[in-house]
């Protein structure tokens, strides 16, 4: 499948690197389940990373060059109260970054995951 921008007739142009910094968070406990909010967090925080990567990975792979920075969260390391949608989506983002790193570590494409913390 061609990247979205190409399908729409738009060119992204040369990209040296990307920083995926999406982060939707609405406090939510399993006791106050809100399926729409959970899906929105998963779509923005996790699926959004795939959408952005889909736009740049073909050129990164073709050039054997590029830099990917994906923002996770300390919330992705373990389940925390009131963060059921956010924590799960950030755990997915962190696993995505780790898998990218494992696959690309011997190429010219650099991959980093950044996990901001709490105050």
Tens digits of residue pLDDT in 49-102: 999 999 999 999 999 999 999 999 999 999 899 999 999 999 999 999 999 999
Q: Helix, strand or coil for residue 83?
A: strand
The pLDDT of residue 8 = 55
Catalytic residue, from 20, 25, 60, 86: name it.
86
Q: Is residue 83 part of a domain?
A: yes
Q: Over the chain, what is the mean pLDDT?
A: 92
Structural domain boundaries, residue 64: 16-114
Q: What is the DSSP letter of 20?
A: E
Structural domains in the chain (count): 1
In which band, very low, low, confident or very high, does the pLDDT at 117 lie, cut at 50, 70 and 90? confident
Q: Is residue 9 part of a domain?
A: no
Q: Are 55 and 5 in contact (CB under 8 A)?
A: yes
Q: Is 86 a catalytic residue?
A: yes
Q: Helix, strand or coil for residue 110?
A: strand
Paired tokens of 7: 């399908």
Q: Is residue 2 part of a domain?
A: no
CATH number for 49: 3.40.50.720
Q: What is the DSSP letter of 13?
A: -
């Amino acid at each position: 499948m061609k990247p979205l921008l190409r399908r729409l007739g738009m060119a992204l142009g040369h990209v040296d690197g990307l920083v995926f910094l999406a982060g939707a968070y609405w406090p939510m406990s399993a006791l106050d389940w809100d399926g729409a909010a959970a899906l929105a967090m998963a779509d923005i925080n996790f699926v959004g990373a795939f959408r952005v990567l889909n736009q740049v990975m073909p050129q990164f792979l073709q050039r054997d060059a590029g830099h990917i920075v994906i923002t996770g969260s300390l919330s992705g390391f373990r389940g925390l109260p009131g963060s059921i949608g956010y924590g799960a989506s950030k755990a997915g983002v962190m696993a995505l970054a780790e898998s990218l790193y494992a696959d690309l570590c011997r190429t010219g494409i650099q991959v980093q995951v950044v996990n901001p913390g709490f105050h």
